[in-house]
């Protein structure tokens, strides 16, 4: 298909596609003439992936590039590959305590593995620091209230990855699944709170 058809197929303006091409995010099409190229299904999929990543708040273009690099040439180990790609997603916290001692305590108490270089560890430390500063509680009971459901949910979320043959497919699923279900979970949580408070006001 021509670039105008690629635009129609993906709902992405031609100018945006040209930007992706210039930035090297989207591979060039097959040249059919000096100023024309033809695009295939792989391009459609790639544009959809770039568009999905572009919709993630606070994800800079440099990080999109990092993620696409992992998708294109994933490390052979799928855990390593998905970890590396997900690590490029925001936020990028820089906690005050670089030893991440507080996060380490919590992670080990919960029976998870402490990996200081995995960004979610620093993310946890920053979140715990913010709770402490605000005087909000964090006890082993509160920790378990979140952990057990997240493990339950996590198993379901990861299940489709078992069926994926190619590492790049698994990486794409992990990145998009991590980034795009997050806003959904947070929106639902707020709606549930509001619902529960409203119910409590009007007991049936």
Which residues within the stretch 48-77 sit at the binding site for a copy of itself (CB under 8 A)? 48-49, 51-52, 55, 57-58, 77
Nearer to a copy of itself, 39 or 172 (CB): 172
Note whether 186 binds a copy of itself by CB under 8 A: yes
Nearer to a copy of itself, 42 or 130 (CB): 130
Q: Which of residues 122-161 bind a copy of itself (CB under 8 A)?
A: 123-124, 126-128, 130-131, 133-136, 142, 145-147, 149-158, 161
First vs last Cα of the chain: how many Å apart?
Answer: 59
Contact region for a copy of itself (CB under 8 A) — 13-21, 26-34, 68-76, 110-118? 110-118
Other C-beta atoms lying within 10 Å of the C-beta of residue 172: 24
Q: Which of residues 166-185 bind a copy of itself (CB under 8 A)?
A: 174, 176-178, 180-185
Least CB distance to a copy of itself at residue 65 (A): 18
Nearer to a copy of itself, 29 or 81 (CB): 81
Nearer to a copy of itself, 30 or 77 (CB): 77
User: Contact, 82 vs 168, CB < 8 A?
Assistant: no
User: Contact, 21 vs 15, CB < 8 A?
Assistant: no
- Please provide residue 39's backbone torsions phi and psi, each rounded to the nearest 5 degrees: -120, 155
Nearer to a copy of itself, 22 or 201 (CB): 201
| SS3 call for 32 | strand
DSSP string for residues in 106-151: HHHHTT----TTSHHHHHHHHHHHHHHHHT----HHHHHHHHHHHH
If binding means CB under 8 A, how many residues of this protein chain bind a copy of itself? Answer: 73
Q: CA 9 to CA 38: how far, in whole Å?
A: 13
């Amino acid at each position: 298909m021509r670039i105008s058809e690629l635009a129609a197929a993906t709902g992405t303006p031609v100018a945006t596609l040209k930007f992706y091409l210039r930035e090297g995010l989207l591979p060039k099409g097959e040249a059919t003439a000096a100023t024309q190229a033809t695009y295939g299904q792989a391009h459609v999929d790639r544009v959809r992936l770039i568009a999905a990543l572009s919709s993630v708040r606070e994800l800079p273009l440099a990080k999109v590039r990092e993620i696409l690099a992992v998708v294109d040439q994933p490390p052979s180990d799928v855990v390593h590959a998905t970890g590396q790609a997900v690590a490029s997603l925001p936020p990028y916290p820089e906690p005050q305590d670089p030893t991440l001692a507080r996060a380490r305590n919590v992670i080990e108490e919960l029976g998870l593995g402490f990996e200081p270089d995995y960004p979610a560890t620093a993310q946890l430390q920053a979140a715990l620091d913010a709770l402490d500063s605000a005087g909000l509680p964090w006890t082993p009971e509160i920790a378990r209230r979140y952990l057990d459901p997240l493990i339950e949910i996590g198993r379901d979320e990861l299940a489709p990855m078992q069926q994926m043959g190619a590492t790049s497919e698994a990486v794409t699923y992990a990145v998009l699944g991590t980034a795009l279900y997050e806003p959904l979970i947070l929106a639902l949580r707020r709606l549930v709170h509001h619902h529960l408070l409203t119910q409590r006001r009007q007991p049936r």
